[in-house]
């Protein structure tokens, strides 16, 4: 195995000591059921791979990026009746995030990017809460699956264990994907209330009420080739962002409106 010096879980003090890192990248996944054909750690595995490849591309372009170990638990309040869908509340996530940010800030790392891999996680309100308490650390978040328009890559991307997630897993961890004949249809029951169905009102979904197989989205058209193409587009975009952030003055991020 070749050690990747930008992946903290693989590198060592000898490699890290004396390096001033521009950006810390914190992947954050979840442990949850993903239809019948994908593993519980799907969000963790995908986040691991997206983070590492994005950092590699950024480092090749002169940014000093460190990928922190992936947090494996996310918000699962709508899946608590599904065995081993392991929930940590947003308040717990905020406490973890604050401890990490304070530690990094004290060590001179001034930019922290949360790479989110789970739709139930939403770090925006947490960042609003936390940023004034860690003014020396710039905080931001990316949902990796939505930073590139998925529609040119997939027939129907799906929301959870559908064509997008299944294709990416076929690319990054094919040995963990069961034959698609074993997958459920991923059919989703829609809300009876029009505002919820149309999306301009929101309430958390109770997963066992909306799906029979824990999937939302049809995985039948998924392929490794589609997953690779999307993965490359995503990591190229995130890698470019990391380079730009590494070289930016985070105290002066905005251009004049007339420019």
pLDDT higher than 70, residue 206: yes
Q: Are the CB atoms for 208 and 24 separated by under 8 Å? A: no
Q: What is the pLDDT of residues 158-191, one digit of tens each?
A: 999 999 999 999 999 999 999 999 999 999 999 9
pLDDT higher than 90, residue 255: no
pLDDT higher than 80, residue 258: no
- Grade residue 19 by pLDDT with cuts at 50, 70 and 90: confident
Which residues are CB-neighbours of 18 under 8 A, at least 6 positions away?
none
Q: How far is CA 212 from CA 20, 119, 148, 177, 222, in A?
A: 49, 19, 29, 19, 20
Plot region of 2 (φ>0 → left; ψ -120 to 50 → alpha; else → beta) = beta
Residue 51's Cα: distance from chain center in Å?
8
Q: Are the CB atoms for 27 and 68 separated by under 8 Å? A: yes
pLDDT higher than 90, residue 256: no
Domain-by-domain residue ranges, the chain? 13-160+234-247
Q: Which residue has the higher pLDDT, 64 or 251?
A: 64
Q: What pLDDT, on a 0 to 100 scale, did the predictor assign at position 15?
A: 87
Interatomic CA distance for residues 148 and 167, integer angstroms? 15
Q: Which CATH architecture has domain 13-160+234-247?
A: 3-Layer(aba) Sandwich (3.40)
Q: What pLDDT, on a 0 to 100 scale, did the predictor assign at position 2?
A: 85
pLDDT higher than 80, residue 98: yes
């Amino acid at each position: 195995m070749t050690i990747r010096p930008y992946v903290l879980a693989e590198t060592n003090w000898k490699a890290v000591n004396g390096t001033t890192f521009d950006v810390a990248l914190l992947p954050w996944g979840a442990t949850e059921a993903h239809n019948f054909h994908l593993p519980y750690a799907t969000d963790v595995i995908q986040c691991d791979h997206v983070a590492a490849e994005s950092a590699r591309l950024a480092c090749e372009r002169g940014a000093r990026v460190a990928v922190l170990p992936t947090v494996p638990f996310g918000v699962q309040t709508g899946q608590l009746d599904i065995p081993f869908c392991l929930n940590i509340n947003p308040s717990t996530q905020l406490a973890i995030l604050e401890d990490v940010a304070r530690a990094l800030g004290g060590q001179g790392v001034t930019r922290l990017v949360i790479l989110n891999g789970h739709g139930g996680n939403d770090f925006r309100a947490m960042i609003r809460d936390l940023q004034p308490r860690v003014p020396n650390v710039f905080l931001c978040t990316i949902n990796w699956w939505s930073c590139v328009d998925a529609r040119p890559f997939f027939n129907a991307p799906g929301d959870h264990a559908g064509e997008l997630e299944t294709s990416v897993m076929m690319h990054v961890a094919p040995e963990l994907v069961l034959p698609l004949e074993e997958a459920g249809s991923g059919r989703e029951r829609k809300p009876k209330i029009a505002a919820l169905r149309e999306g301009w009102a929101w309430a958390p979904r109770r997963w066992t009420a909306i799906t029979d197989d824990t999937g939302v989205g049809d995985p039948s058209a998924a392929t490794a080739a589609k997953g690779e193409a999307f993965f490359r587009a995503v990591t190229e975009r995130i890698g470019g962002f990391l380079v730009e952030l590494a070289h930016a003055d985070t105290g002066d991020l905005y251009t004049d409106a007339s420019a």
